[in-house]
Chains A and B, each alone.
Chain A
Amino acid sequence: MWIIKLAWKNLWRNRSRTLISVAAVFFAVLLSTIAESLKQGVFENLVKNVVSFYTGYIQVHKMGYQQEQLLDNSFEEDSRVKDAIQSATNIRVIAPRLEGFALASSEALTKGCLIIGVDPAFENEITGLRARLVTGVFLNNRDTGVMLSEGLAKRLKISLQDTVVLIGQGYHGATAAGKYPVKGLLRFGSPQLNDKLLYMPLPVAQDFFSAQQLITSYVVSLHTDKELNQTAMQVSKQIGDQYEVMTWEELLPDIKQHIQTDSNNMKVVQGVLYLLIFFGIFSTLLMMMLERKFEMGMLVAIGMKKSKLVQLFLTESVLTVLIGCIAGLIASIPLVYYLKKYPIKIGGETAKAYERFGFEAIFPTSTSSSIFLSQALAVLIIGLVLSLYPVYKVIRLNPVTAMKK
């Protein structure tokens, strides 16, 4: 107990040095927590965006569809398959889709479009399609109309209640043709999608493509993205090898790559940060040891066991690092929450790239409690590793040389 008291008093013998050490630890925890929470926040946000944007977390296709995205690679909508997927843990919603290309015509113009036959209610559960509706009504599965992306409507110079004529190739080379009333307009951030998407209820699409009972994919959303790969594996095992199970990471390798790169860059930043902290604390430690060399020698000379002296220095280090860590934690919590509520806005080219995908150009933070704890712990460990230096010095201490002027 008296060791702790003495350690505490020693902390304040050189107030500014102790404050520098505490501040180093404090900023270390603060900055590394913010860096980590930004890293994870951006990552989570991107995944959420990507997934809820179009692909879903997981898609189930007929084997080979990803390579050749043709109607001929569709498969029969089957409650057994659906049940098999559902039987995996962590599955939230399963939505069927039938996708195919066609030509869309108004009275004057013809443009290419991507037809997506969906069950609107399920689709909305996964991609939030209803929120993209800017005018008109959101279809239900028994409707006979279609919803156009705004850009496509503009290119065709048609609006709500007009009729769109679709011509294309159906299943196994059948001719596909039909006339459909425009019931709603949807807005997508990405120009590529906004200029060519056309949604229709699944039965209508199956009818149009002469693909009765057929779909090209089941789009799956999960309760938590933490077990993405395990879930995909489980599903794959359940439904057998006529089907391919693809995660969003496989469906959108570019985005996965982008996240990986960003996250690696952040790791470098954090590494540099840790290094700065390391040397910041180390230099104050060096100064302290130099200043107290004589005193250490004197204490051992008069009969203080080295183990006691080690205890004293360890207590001093632990107190310093702990104060800094706790203060850093306390300060980082409101800051991280603030940055979640008022996220940092991205600027320049990157912002444009984000917006093209229809994502908000922001850097939100993640407030997962594990971030605070892991970063505080990391700094704490750095601090404790550093405090082994005085321990080493004490063990090697020779009172005679230490007390030499």
Chain B
Amino acid sequence: MPKTVIDAHTISKVYNPDTIPVYAVNNVHLHLEEGEFTALVGPSGSGKTTVLNMIGGLDKPTEGNIYINEVDITKLSQSELINFRLHNIGFVFQSFNLIPVLKAKENAEFIMLLQGVKKKEREARLQQLFKEIGLEDKMDVRPAQLSGGQQQRVAVARALATRPRFILADEPTANLDSVAASKLLDLMEKLNREEYMTFLFSTHDQRVIDRARRVITLVDGRIASDTAAVSTEFPHG
């Protein structure tokens, strides 16, 4: 029986409720099981970022509840949410994920410092992570010396470092060329396959959409289609 990691019930996000209400997200149901590799797609302005922000506990829905591992995160305070994110969710943003003054490995180590992980454990984990993302030789390099694709892979390493329940990635390939995008997807797929890491990522790039096992399409803040049936049948291990 697969475990549910994300369970969003009829969530909506309304901007300017008092003047001209804008439904950025309108009555969305979203249910994600452990081990999924799901793309959230739709044209610009369709509400992808808003959905991801709400699921990631960065933004509160106007209506509805979101359960992450059976915790209703819409009931958490701001500071509880920060802590919740730190321990449960890995984030990869479109760009500028990294602290420019820190080396690649320090960027991944940073989040483990926030978690209070011991030095020995951090170092072992860093070796392992950078091996996984294939950037062992770039550990001591500053972000500015890395290509866009390499920076995104370091961001994935950082997201993974805390051993989150799932990773949210908002258009992680939007700033990458197709080769780098493909390599990032390779990495994400590998982590999904080998470590059973759950991914939910947004995109409007068809080549990326093609790599997803489940595709949820948003139009004007509503779910227009969901290929959920296909996704749960992926044989892993």
A interface residue numbers (CB < 8 A to B): 2, 6, 9-10, 12-13, 294-295, 298-306, 308, 399-400, 403
Contacts and interface: CB of A to CB of B under 8 A. Distances in A.
B167 to A, nearest CB: 11
Contacts of A304: 82, 86, 114
B106 to A, nearest CB: 9
B58 A399 contact: yes
10 contacts: A6-B102, A10-B101, A13-B100, A295-B99, A303-B82, A303-B85, A304-B114, A305-B82, A306-B82, A400-B53
B141 interface: no
Contacts of A308: 114
Interface string B141-171: 0000000000000000011001000000000
Contacts of B79: 305-306
Contact of B114 (A13, A295, A303, A400): A303
A9 B82 contact: no
Contacts of A403: 93
A6 B100 CA distance: 11
A144 to B, nearest CB: 87
B36 to A, nearest CB: 21
Given A10-B101, A301-B93, A302-B86, 13 more contacts: A6-B99, A6-B110, A13-B100, A295-B96, A301-B56, A302-B91, A302-B158, A302-B159, A303-B162, A308-B114, A399-B58, A400-B58, A400-B59
B111 to A, nearest CB: 6
Contacts of B59: 400
Contacts of A301: 56, 58, 85, 91, 93
Contacts of A10: 101
A403 B58 CA distance: 11
Contacts of B53: 400
B76 interface: no
B107 to A, nearest CB: 10
A9 B101 contact: yes
Contact of B83 (A294, A299, A303, A400): A303
A13 B101 contact: yes
Contacts, number: 55
B114 A298 contact: no
B82 A2 contact: no
B96 A298 contact: yes
B111 A302 contact: yes
B97 interface: yes
B216 to A, nearest CB: 21
B87 interface: yes
Contacts of A6: 99, 101-102, 110
Nearest to B113: A2
A13 to B, nearest CB: 5
A190 B178 CA distance: 92
Nearest to A308: B114
A295 B110 CA distance: 14
Contacts of B87: 303
A197 to B, nearest CB: 74
7 tightest CB-CB pairs across the interface, nearest first? A303-B86, A9-B101, A303-B85, A400-B59, A13-B101, A302-B91, A400-B58
Contacts of B115: 303
A300 B96 contact: no
B93 A305 contact: no
A299 B93 CA distance: 11
A298 B93 contact: yes
A399 B79 CA distance: 12
Interface in B82-127: 82-83, 85-87, 89, 91, 93, 96-97, 99-102, 110-111, 113-115
A317 to B, nearest CB: 16
B73 to A, nearest CB: 13
Nearest to B87: A303
B41 to A, nearest CB: 20
Given A308-B114, A399-B58, A302 B85 contact: yes
A334 to B, nearest CB: 35
Given A298-B93, A305-B82, A400-B59, A12 B114 contact: no
Most chain A CB inside 10 Å of its own CB: which residue of B58, B87, B97: B58
Contacts of A295: 96, 99
A9 B98 CA distance: 14
Nearest to B86: A303
Contacts of B82: 300, 303-306
Nearest to B57: A301
Contacts of A400: 53, 58-59
Interface in B26-56: 53, 56
A13 B101 CA distance: 6
Nearest to A13: B101
A302 B87 CA distance: 9
Nearest to B158: A302
A295 B100 CA distance: 10
Contacts of B102: 6, 9
Contacts of A9: 101-102
A299 B56 CA distance: 14
Most chain B CB inside 10 Å of its own CB: which residue of A2, A299, A308, A400: A400
A78 B17 CA distance: 93
B83 A305 contact: yes
Most chain A CB inside 10 Å of its own CB: which residue of B58, B82, B86, B102: B82
Contacts of A305: 79, 82-83, 114
A12 B101 contact: yes
Nearest to A12: B101
